[in-house]
Amino acid sequence: MPTLTRHLLHAGGIALWFMLLALPLLAVRVDTLHNVVEWRWGNLLWVGAGAFVLTLLWRSMAAWRQRPSKEPAALATAAGRLLDEPRLYRPAVGLLLGAALLLPWLVDTYQTNIMGLALIFVVLGLGLNITVGLAGLLDLGYIAFFAVGAYCYALLNTRFGLGFWACLPLGGLAGAVCGLLLGFPILRLRGDYLAIVTLGFGSIARIVIENWENVTGGAQGIAGVARPGLFGLELSLAGMTIYLYYLLLALVAVTAFVTRRLQHSRIGRAWVALREDEIACAAMGVDVARTKLSAYAFGAFWAGLVGVIFAARNTYINPNSFTFMESALVLSIVVLGGMGSIVGVVLAALVLVLLPEYLRAVAEYRMLVFGAVMVLMMIIRPQGLIIARRKRYRAREAA
Amino acid sequence: MDALLDIRGVIMDFGGLRAVDGVSLQVFPGEIVALIGPNGAGKTTLFNCMTGIYRPSGGEIRIDPTGKAGRRIDGLPPHRITALGLARTFQNIRLFNGMTALENVMLGHHCRTTTGLLGAIVHGPAARRQEQATIAAAYAMLERVGLAPYADEVAGNLSYGAQRRLEIARALATAPSLLLLDEPAAGMNPQETFELDELIVRIRDEHKVAILLIEHDMRLVMNISDRIYVLEYGKSIACGTPLEIRGNPRVIEAYLGEDGHA
Ligand SMILES: Nc1ncnc2c1ncn2[C@@H]1O[C@H](COP(=O)(O)OP(=O)(O)OP(=O)(O)O)[C@@H](O)[C@H]1O
Ligand SMILES: [Mg+2]
Q: What is the pLDDT of residue A118?
A: 92
Inside any domain, residue A35: yes
- Tens digit of each residue's pLDDT (9 = 90 or more) over A319-356: 988 988 888 889 888 888 887 788 888 988 888 888 87
Among B96, B135, B136, the residue with its CB nearest the CB of A276 is B96
Residue of A nearest to B92 (CA): A280
pLDDT category at B80 given cuts 50, 70, 90 is very high
- Tens digit of each residue's pLDDT (9 = 90 or more) over A8-21: 888 888 888 888 88
Chosen domain end from A27, A45, A76: A76
DSSP 8-state code for residue A70: S
Chosen domain end from A21, A49, A76: A76
What is the average per-residue pLDDT within B39-48? Answer: 94
pLDDT category at B256 given cuts 50, 70, 90 is low
pLDDT at A74 over 60: no
What is the average per-residue pLDDT within B224-230? Answer: 94
pLDDT at B1 over 70: no
Name the more confident of A90 and A211.
A211
pLDDT category at B92 given cuts 50, 70, 90 is very high
Residues A69 and A175 occupy one common structural domain: no
In chain A, residues with a C-beta closer than 8 Å to the C-beta of B120 are 261-262, 265-268
Chosen domain end from A13, A43, A76: A76
Q: What is the pLDDT of residue A148?
A: 94
Expressed in angstroms and rounded, the spacing between residue B49 Cα and the centre of ligand 1 is: 12
How many whole angstroms separate alpha carbon A354 and alpha carbon A343?
16
Inside any domain, residue A324: yes
- Tens digit of each residue's pLDDT (9 = 90 or more) over B51-68: 999 999 999 999 988 777
How many whole angstroms separate alpha carbon B73 and alpha carbon B81?
7
Look at A394 and B135 and tell me if their CB atoms are within 8 Å: yes
How many whole angstroms separate alpha carbon A303 and alpha carbon A305?
5
Give the least confident one: A70-79, A221-230, A370-379: A70-79
Residue of A nearest to B154 (CA): A390
Q: What is the pLDDT of residue A399?
A: 35
Residues A70 and A129 occupy one common structural domain: no
Look at A266 and B51 and tell me if their CB atoms are within 8 Å: no
Closest alpha carbon to B139 in A260, A81, A398:
A398
Highest mean pLDDT (candidates A90-94, A328-332, B162-166, B245-249):
B162-166
Inside any domain, residue A138: yes
Look at B82 and A268 and tell me if their CB atoms are within 8 Å: no
Q: Is B85 in the pocket of ligand 1 (CB under 6 A)?
A: no
Average pLDDT in chain B: 90
Domain with A197 in it? 89-380
Q: What is the pLDDT of residue A397?
A: 47
Complex ipTM: 0.91
pLDDT at A69 over 50: no
Q: What is the pLDDT of residue A192?
A: 79
Residues A95 and A61 occupy one common structural domain: no
Q: What is the pLDDT of residue A72?
A: 47
Torsion on CA atoms A254, A260, A266, A268, rounded to nearest 10: 100
Q: What is the pLDDT of residue B260?
A: 44
- Tens digit of each residue's pLDDT (9 = 90 or more) over A278-324: 999 999 999 999 999 999 999 999 999 999 999 999 989 989 889 88
pLDDT category at B262 given cuts 50, 70, 90 is very low
- Tens digit of each residue's pLDDT (9 = 90 or more) over B167-202: 999 999 999 999 999 999 988 888 889 999 999 999
Highest mean pLDDT (candidates A43-52, B27-36, B70-79):
B27-36
Q: What is the best residue among B45, B214, B231 to mutate for testing ligand 1's pocket, by most ligand atoms within 8 Å of CB?
A: B45
Q: Is B48 in the pocket of ligand 1 (CB under 6 A)?
A: no
What is the average per-residue pLDDT within A107-135? Answer: 91
Considering chain A, what percentage of its residues have pLDDT values greater than 90?
29
How many whole angstroms separate alpha carbon B25 and alpha carbon B42?
14
pLDDT at A379 over 80: no
Name the more confident of A135 and A358.
A135
Average pLDDT in chain A: 83
Question: Within an 8 Å CB–CB cutoff, is residue A286 touching chain B?
Answer: yes
- For chain A, positions 226-265, list CB contacts with chain B under 8 A: 258, 261-262, 265
Which residue's alpha carbon is nearest to atom 3 within ligand 1? B14
Among A261, A269, A398, the residue with its CB nearest the CB of B106 is A269
Q: What is the pLDDT of residue A71?
A: 44
Q: Which of B79, B80, B150 to mutate to test the interface with A (most CBs of A within 10 A)?
A: B79
Angle at the Cα of A168 (from A164 to A172), degrees rounded to 5?
A: 155
Residues A53 and A113 occupy one common structural domain: no
Inside any domain, residue A139: yes
Alpha-carbon gap: A90 to the closest alpha carbon of chain B (Å): 19
- DSSP E strands, chain A: 28-31, 36-39, 222-223, 316-317
Q: How far apart are the first and last CA of chain A?
A: 67
Answer for the pair B101, B152: CB distance below 8 angstroms, yes or no: yes
Residues A94 and A49 occupy one common structural domain: no
The b-or-e profile of B34-70 (16+ CB within 10 A means b, else e) is bbbbbeebbbbbbbbbbbbbbebeebebbbbbeeeeb
pLDDT category at A398 given cuts 50, 70, 90 is very low
Q: What is the pLDDT of residue A362?
A: 65
Q: What is the pLDDT of residue A79?
A: 60
Question: Within an 8 Å CB–CB cutoff, is residue A74 touching chain B?
Answer: no
Give the least confident one: A39-43, A45-49, A109-113, A388-392: A388-392
Residue of B nearest to A288 (CA): B79
Q: Among the residues of B150-257, which ranges form H helices?
A: 160-172, 190-207, 218-224, 242-247, 249-256
In chain B, residues with a C-beta closer than 8 Å to the C-beta of A262 are 117, 120-121
Among B52, B78, B107, the residue with its CB nearest the CB of A269 is B107
What is the average per-residue pLDDT within B2-14? Answer: 92
Q: Among the residues of A23-142, which ranges form H helices?
A: 41-66, 71-84, 86-106, 109-128
pLDDT category at A84 given cuts 50, 70, 90 is low
Count Cβ atoms within 10 A of the Cβ of residue B123 and give its class: 0-12 exposed, 13-18 middle, 19 or more buried.
middle
How many whole angstroms separate alpha carbon B86 and alpha carbon A359?
59
**CB A231: neighbour CB atoms within 10 A?**
4
Residues A271 and A153 occupy one common structural domain: yes
Which residue's alpha carbon is nearest to atom 29 within ligand 1? B40
Name the more confident of A381 and A138.
A138
What is the average per-residue pLDDT within B137-142? Answer: 92
Q: Which of B84, B94, B105, B143 to mutate to test the interface with A (most CBs of A within 10 A)?
A: B94
Closest alpha carbon to B119 in B130, B135, B132:
B130
Question: Within an 8 Å CB–CB cutoff, is residue A302 touching chain B?
Answer: no
Expressed in angstroms and rounded, the spacing between residue A288 Cα and the centre of ligand 1 is: 24
Query: Could you give the strand order of the β-sheet that contains B5-14, starting from the edge strand earlier in sequence?
Result: B17-27, B5-14, B58-63, B71-72
Supply the CATH number for residue A315's domain: 1.10.3470
pLDDT at A82 over 70: no
Work out whether strand B227-232 and strand B32-36 pair parallel, antiparallel, or are unpaired: parallel
Alpha-carbon gap: B82 to the closest alpha carbon of chain A (Å): 5
Q: What is the pLDDT of residue A70?
A: 43
Domains identified in chain A, total number: 2
| Amino acid identity for residue B174 in this structure | T
B1-85+176-262: what fold? Rossmann fold (3.40.50)
Inside any domain, residue A386: no
What is the average per-residue pLDDT within B125-144? Answer: 90
How many whole angstroms separate alpha carbon A72 and alpha carbon A87?
24
Q: Which of A81, A188, A257, A266 to mutate to test the interface with B (most CBs of B within 10 A)?
A: A266
- Residue A121 vs residues A68, A281, B126: alpha-carbon distances, Å: 37, 31, 35
- For chain A, positions 355-394, list CB contacts with chain B under 8 A: 390-394
Domain ranges of chain B: 1-85+176-262, 96-174
Which residue's alpha carbon is nearest to atom 14 within ligand 1? B42
What is the average per-residue pLDDT within B132-159? Answer: 91
Expressed in angstroms and rounded, the spacing between residue B88 Cα and the centre of ligand 2 is: 13
- Tens digit of each residue's pLDDT (9 = 90 or more) over A167-176: 999 999 999 9
pLDDT category at A269 given cuts 50, 70, 90 is very high
pLDDT at A66 over 80: no
How many whole angstroms separate alpha carbon A319 and alpha carbon A208?
10
